Structure 1
Amino acid sequence: MVKLNSFSLTALLLMFFVANVYAQQKKPLHFTQAHTLTITGKAWDSQPFYHRLDTARYAGLSSTLKRLATHSAGLAISFKTNSTTISARWQTSPQRSSDNMTGIAYEGLDLYILRDGRWQYAGVARPSAHDTSETSIVENMVHGEKTCLLFLPTYDETLFLEIGIDADATIKANPNPFRKNILIYGSSIVQGASASRPGLAYPAKLSRQTGYHFINMGFSGNAKMETTVAEMIAPLPMDAFILDCVPNPSPEEILERTANMVKTIRRYHPEAPIIAIQSVAREKGNFDQQIAQRVKLKDQYFRQEIKKLQRDDPHLYLIEADGLLGTDQEGTTDGIHPNDLGFERMLQEIRPAILAIFAKYEI
């Protein structure tokens, strides 16, 4: 038999006491299925609930595009609660994070709460080593109703999500807090690489900063303006379109496909503004001359094609690439994808340009 001296016994009793007090202080939680609340960031009300697109409707899409469409990039759950605690329990697919993104951005969640008319960051839900995670996002909040947005994983499929609140609190759906519908079609940069958490991807930031409903149609490595994709996005009930898709296609594909992309959208939306954005700088091209020349050529061809189309299209606009990431070469994670600083610099340039265009149309 192990004998405990008085010091050890006292320490052991103290540990049990602290654990008991902590257990008593932890409030029991009530979990609500997120699919009973409001989802934002979708082009239309389709199933599956956490997919950006119902890919079964589009037989011509590649398997890669269909997989990327299952990622919940840009989607958020809108709700109100009077809880002092908000937790989450969710499951994602078995894939693991990439080497240029945080686990939180890849398959975690982040929460924003409206305070004094501004969406303010409240906390993150860090994914566990398993596909199913449960964690507290924020605790010890003041009593009273809070308007919340919970952003979903950027680079993984959300299979289910439950939101936990105090057992004696209430939760209810909140209407979409954003107005109109603006689709942003583009590459991994649009999808959210390499923001540190989901709500810092630039379409999500644009929504919170402007009040417009920006819909994330970023397809990592696969935004190549294919005819099947043009036919997919063109009929959607949008008030405006943003084409930020220069990074993925080759220079030759830009020459071949830009006009078709714009004209296909025009068939369905004769007067809606279409805003084309050149590629952000590839900072890998600071010293690699081949990369620098390739990006320059793609931006040149894209500008050339847009300028041609503008002769007959007064509702087509171009935002050029100069200065989008600043001039100190500190705006990317890996020389390709913007970090949080790079995204904020990008928004400083494109946000006022976008808002000025919208003002012309009273959007």
Structure 2
Amino acid sequence: MNDLPEITYYNATHFEILGKMSETKTYNRLPEAAKSSVRNSVWSLSKNTAGLAIRFSSNSSIIKVRWTLKNNRVKGNMTPIASNGLDLYAYTKDRWQFVGVAIPGKEVVNETTVIADMTKENREYLLNLPLYEGVENIEIGVESNATIDKPGQDIIDQENPIIFYGTSITQGASASRPGLTYAALLGRKINKEVINLGFSGNGRFEKEVAQFIMPDNPSVIILDCTPNSAPDTILTNLPETLAYIQSVNDSIPIILVESIVRDYAYFKENDPSTFGTLSYIQAQNDALKKVYLDNKNKNLFYVTNKDLIGQDNEATIDGTHFNDLGNYRMYQFLLPMVQKLLTQR
């Protein structure tokens, strides 16, 4: 029987952290200045590491991860791997290929082997962080006689990131692991840095959030807040947010996304005053469409909910939040649109 290799751990801050906005702390999604500007719920959720990833290279035959969570809470509609764990990709044959996962235990401090018994050759890696929990510290473990360093290849374009601002669906509920959100799928496909500003239950088209988007000079902004926003909220907040973005840079493409029809809406009594009914969802989308039509900027684009996640009602885990199928369909829908907008800039 072979002896277990000696492992040395390296703090992930020695490498490259993707998915971060300017002036943010190591594993936060909004800069410290946002604390006094955004609502408390948004600030708290900004400490979740949705969309953050570590880029590194190594020739180790084993990859381990040791990480400390702010909390270790389990959501009923998510896997522990998605909410509190990590997943690893390696770049091979000109694409990012899934390698394995770091499965969390029940404590805040976790340590696990992602993969072992690999051939000892240098590889480029992408380690996606938890979607619904904050992280205090991450360390990557490799064989003590192996190399580990910052990325050796310039694969992911970090200039002018794509920024998503949205809801729990954007944040990642309910992908089975961090790398399977539609935002993450899109970023890996086109090798473009993506910043995920999904705030569970709190995506409301707020200017207070948008003002922290603009310093990163995004290439595309996708506003996917409709599911969390009452019609009156859309009519109040969205025009102000669009006006602000366009006053800073009116050439940035902005995509507005309608709310999906929640699967259970087809069975609810259709009361227009009740959240989640067919008529309420229609009122949300009508408000979004009105703001879109009232705004005359040629770089504003509109996405209806038709065919966003298919018509078979199999794309959510609970009627609202995307399962892996829903995330994949959303990614496939957005991909050609985003690619076209990027080539036009």
- Where do 1:319-330 residues align within 5 Å? 319-330=303-314
Change (3 A) 1:177 1:67: farther
The answer to whether the Cα contact below 8 Å between 1:38 and 1:176 also exists between their aligned partners in 2 is no
**273-282 vs 140-149, which moves further:** 273-282
Task: Note if 1:106 corresponds to 2:92.
Answer: no
SS in 2 for 1:52: coil
Choose from 157, 170, 182 the match for 1:190. 170
The one-letter code sitting in structure 2 at the alignment partner of 1:258 is L
Task: Note if 1:302 corresponds to 2:279.
Answer: no
The count of aligned residue pairs is 336
The answer to whether the Cα contact below 8 Å between 1:278 and 1:302 also exists between their aligned partners in 2 is yes
Change (3 A) 1:286 1:26: farther
Task: Note if 1:28 corresponds to 2:6.
Answer: yes
Change (3 A) 1:59 1:176: farther
Partner residue in 1 for 2:19? 41
Partner residue in 1 for 2:274? none
Partner residue in 1 for 2:323? 339
Give the TM-score normalised by the residue count of structure 2: 0.94
Partner residue in 1 for 2:224? 244
The answer to whether the Cα contact below 8 Å between 1:40 and 1:176 also exists between their aligned partners in 2 is no
The one-character-per-residue Cα deviations of 1:41-100 (angstroms, maximum 9, x if unpaired) are: 1122532x0111223444122221111111110000000000010010001022411100
Q: Distance in 2 between matches of 1:97 and 1:40?
A: 25
Partner residue in 2 for 1:206? 186
The answer to whether the Cα contact below 8 Å between 1:39 and 1:176 also exists between their aligned partners in 2 is no
The answer to whether the Cα contact below 8 Å between 2:220 and 2:341 also exists between their aligned partners in 1 is no
Q: How far off is 1:324 after superposition?
A: 0.9
- Where do 1:1-363 residues align within 5 Å? 21=1, 24-47=2-25, 49-174=26-151, 177-179=155-157, 180=159, 181-288=161-268, 289-290=270-271, 291-309=277-295, 312-361=296-345
The answer to whether the Cα contact below 8 Å between 1:235 and 1:265 also exists between their aligned partners in 2 is no
Unpaired segments ≥5 residues, structure 2: 272-276
The one-letter code sitting in structure 2 at the alignment partner of 1:126 is I
The one-character-per-residue Cα deviations of 1:193-212 (angstroms, maximum 9, x if unpaired) are: 10000011111111001112
Give the TM-score normalised by the residue count of structure 1: 0.89
SS in 2 for 1:247: helix
Q: How far off is 1:232 after superposition?
A: 2.9
The answer to whether the Cα contact below 8 Å between 2:222 and 2:255 also exists between their aligned partners in 1 is yes
Q: How far off is 1:229 after superposition?
A: 2.0
Q: Distance in 1 between matches of 2:200 and 2:240?
A: 21
Q: Distance in 1 between matches of 2:100 and 2:261?
A: 31
Q: Distance in 1 between matches of 2:34 and 2:238?
A: 24
The answer to whether the Cα contact below 8 Å between 2:206 and 2:238 also exists between their aligned partners in 1 is no
Q: Distance in 2 between matches of 1:113 and 1:260?
A: 42
The one-character-per-residue Cα deviations of 1:296-335 (angstroms, maximum 9, x if unpaired) are: 21112101211221xx211111111101111111000000
Unpaired segments ≥5 residues, structure 1: 1-20
Higher share in helix: 1
The answer to whether the Cα contact below 8 Å between 1:103 and 1:126 also exists between their aligned partners in 2 is yes
Q: How far off is 1:268 after superposition?
A: 1.1
Question: RMSD of aligned C-alpha atoms?
Answer: 1.4
The answer to whether the Cα contact below 8 Å between 1:105 and 1:198 also exists between their aligned partners in 2 is yes
Could you list the structure 1 runs, at least 4 aligned residues long, displaced by more than 6 angstroms after superposition.
none
Partner residue in 2 for 1:10? none
Q: How far off is 1:281 after superposition?
A: 2.5
Q: Distance in 2 between matches of 1:142 and 1:278?
A: 47
